[in-house]
Every structure is written in structure tokens, then in C-alpha cells.
Structure 1
Amino acid sequence: MASGWSLLIGLIIIVAASLAAWFLSPKGENLTVWRSTLILSFVSCYLMWAIVFLAQWHPLIAPKRADMRPDRVPS
């Protein structure tokens, strides 16, 4: 089941991947480009996943049942 630990575990994985990208990126004149691209990609993917995860975990709009008569809708 989904829990708050998923966000923390995902964050730990992203931090580890970002550190690996920082230290293991190829050396040369494009070092900054490699680091920036990899770290920004990791962070962007994590943010997108976290937003979608939280939107499904705590939806802002509750689903409505379509099989109920209008006069029987609970308030």
C-alpha cells in the first residue's frame, strides 16, 4: 500500500543518483553541462512522480457515484 515512506525512499534514491552524477560525470569541458543535465533530470522526474503520487493519495475532488438516483444523493 501507499504510504509516506514512498516519498522519503524516492528522495533518498534521487539524492544518491544525484551524488553519483556529480562524482561520476565525464571530465572535460562539458563537465558542468553533464552535471546540470543529470541532476535537473533526476529532480524533475522525482517532482513529477511525487506530485502525481500525492494527487492520487489525497485527491482534491471526491469521485461521485453515477448509479444513484438524484433524489437519493447523500449530502
Structure 2
Amino acid sequence: MASGWSLIIGLIIVVAASLAAWFLSPKGDNQTLWRNTLILSFISCYLMWAIVFLAQWHPLITPKRSDMRPDRVPE
């Protein structure tokens, strides 16, 4: 089931992956490029997942049944 803990657990995983990318990026001339690319990728993927997750968890528009005729009211 969906819960608010999913967002927190996902955030913890992204922070851990970002810290790992910070400390384990290969040393050299492109170290800053590696760090920035990995950390921005993790954050972007997390934000996209979180926005889609929240949009499905709390939809702005309430779904309507399509198997009913508009002139019939359920009893």
C-alpha cells in the first residue's frame, strides 16, 4: 500500500547514493563533472518519481465511473 514512508525511504536512498557518488567518484580532472552528473541524476529521478507518486496518491481530479449513463442515479 502507498504511504508517506515511501517518500522518506526513497529520499534516504537518494541521499545515500549521492553521498556514495561524492566519495567514490573517480579521482582526476573530471571528478567534479562525475559528482555533479551523478548527484543531479539521482535528484532528478527522485523528483520525477515523487511527483508521479504524489499525483497518483492524491489526484486533483476525482475519477468518475464510465459505466453509468448520466441520466441514471445509483440507488
Short-chain TM bin: over 0.9
**Corresponding pairs, count:** 74
Q: Which runs of 5+ in 1 are unaligned?
A: none
Q: Tell me which stretches of 4 or more aligned residues in structure 1 moved more than 6 Å.
A: none
Q: Per-residue deviation at 1:73?
A: 4.8
Structure 2 unaligned runs (5+)?
Answer: none
Superposition CA RMSD, Å:
1.2
- 2:34 maps to which residue? 34
Between 1:28-37 and 1:61-70, the stretch displaced more is 61-70
Distance 1:44 1:62 in 2: 28
Give the aligned partner of residue 51 of structure 1: 51
Change in 2 beyond 3 A, CA 1:14/1:57: same
Counting aligned pairs with the same residue, the percent is 88
